[in-house]
Structure 1
Amino acid sequence: MTDLEYQDLAESALKAIETGCDRINEKTDADIDNQRTGGMITLTFSNRSQIVINLQKPLHEIWMAARAGGFHYKFDSGKWADTKGSGEFFANLSRYASEQAGQPLVFKPPA
């Protein structure tokens, strides 16, 4: 994958997270505050816990830090897959965000 391909795919993923937060805030009382600074998004939940997602450009990865731990994802076969085989990025983000928000939340990959 070229740097440009990575940047396009990673940017689409970050935009999908931002859109997901907007949708969740409109349809639930989860009240997720999402702050973006460059290639990093910090999701802050009402209990003040956070999930931090940031781009690792030299490695062509997306990293996620949540209460459950730290995770690295590479784009493979049309999805962001955990480098240790522990699932897909958006499914895992949904699970960890749900745990931290105390209610079911769904983040969807870009269409």
Structure 2
Amino acid sequence: MNQTLFIEKAEALLRKVEDSDALSMADADRSGNVLTIEFDSGEQIVINIQTPTEQVWLASRVTGGFHFSWDGEAWKDSDGEDFWSVLGRAASQLSGETVTFE
């Protein structure tokens, strides 16, 4: 994938996370390539775009860190786990609510 396409895909992903109704219980704050989602407990999920490696990174205290690459259809980590599954699991654990993404 060329860098322009990567940036378009990664930016679209962050915008989709920001606009998601599934995260209505949390505050999202974007600063450049970094999106921080903070829950009432103070716990956070941090998602950032890593242009040099063409990856999107997601990290939280409870899930640890994940590196996602675009496989032509979806953002997947090296084990094949989908970005939205990891984000839903992390948000569910941090919010105490079931969070799923369509």
So what's the TM-score if we normalise by structure 2?
0.92
Paired position in structure 2 for 1:93: 87
- C-alpha distance in 1 between matches for 2:29 and 2:85: 21
Shift in Å, 1:106: 2.1
Paired position in structure 2 for 1:55: 49
**Structure 1: gaps (5+ residues):** 26-30
* % same residue: 33
Paired position in structure 2 for 1:14: 14
Give the AA of the match of 1:87: E
**Structure 2: gaps (5+ residues):** none
Residue 39 to residue 107, structure 1, CA distance change in 2 (3 Å): farther
**CA deviation map 1:40-66 (0-9, x unaligned):** 100000111000000000000000111
Superposed counterparts of 1:24-103, under 5 Å: 24=22, 25=24, 31-66=25-60, 67-83=62-78, 85-103=79-97
CA RMSD of aligned residues (A): 1.1
The secondary structure found in structure 1 opposite 2:97 is: coil
- C-alpha distance in 1 between matches for 2:101 and 2:51: 22
